[in-house]
Copies of this chain bind each other. A is one copy, B any other.
């Protein structure tokens, strides 16, 4: 049986500042009808900046949905028409002041494909130069520096809890291991 769901109708629920929510009637491959709730979002990037000594600048931010601060690799939303790499360069500079000579694409991914339509892109930045951070207005964050190997341990132990950051850390570590092996 072909795996396909056809849109029968769309009902707009909410057009907010960062999300657009709709509820669609769909026809499944077996002919039955069902509903799908969808949250659309412009998507974004995350950057793991790995310095020559193996240290990584992370940011800690209050994440309102969870009511707690969360340690993350620098990240941000795509602006309208913005290329992911341009967004990565901009967000790294805004949040940490860093610029980079080398950008390695670590791939794109879907954070929660059951109901979200959001695409995230991950990059590793190397050949780093420091500068002044200049966060967006209302964007309050603290920069914290950790060795990459410590972040790998924190990802494995569950201490690093943000999905995009876990992916960036584990992919960067494996990328560097493969590079050293070749």
Task: Give the B-binding residues of A (Cβ under 8 A).
Answer: 1, 3-5, 13-14, 16-19, 21, 23-24, 26, 28-30, 32, 34-41, 44, 60-66, 69-70, 72, 77, 107-118, 120, 138, 140-142, 152, 155-158, 161-164, 166-167, 170-171, 174-175, 178
Contact = CB atoms under 8 A, between A and B. Distances in A.
Contacts of A62: 3-5, 29
A61 B110 CA distance: 14
Contact of A64 (B5, B17, B162): B5
B38 A64 contact: yes
Given A111-B163, A115-B41, A17 B35 contact: yes
Given A3-B142, A19-B37, A113-B70, A174 B156 contact: yes
B38 A65 contact: yes
Contact of A65 (B1, B66, B113): B113
A112 B115 contact: no
B167 A115 contact: no
Between A4, A157, A158, A163, the greatest number of chain B beta carbons within 10 A of the residue's beta carbon is seen for: A163
Contacts of A13: 13-14, 16, 21
A110 B69 contact: no
A1 B19 CA distance: 29
A14 B14 contact: yes
A114 B139 CA distance: 12
Contacts of A167: 163, 166-167, 170
Contact of A140 (B1, B72, B155): B1
25 contacts: A3-B62, A3-B140, A5-B62, A13-B14, A14-B14, A19-B37, A21-B39, A29-B62, A29-B140, A30-B138, A39-B39, A39-B116, A41-B112, A66-B110, A70-B113, A72-B113, A107-B157, A107-B161, A108-B161, A109-B161, A109-B162, A110-B161, A110-B162, A166-B171, A170-B174
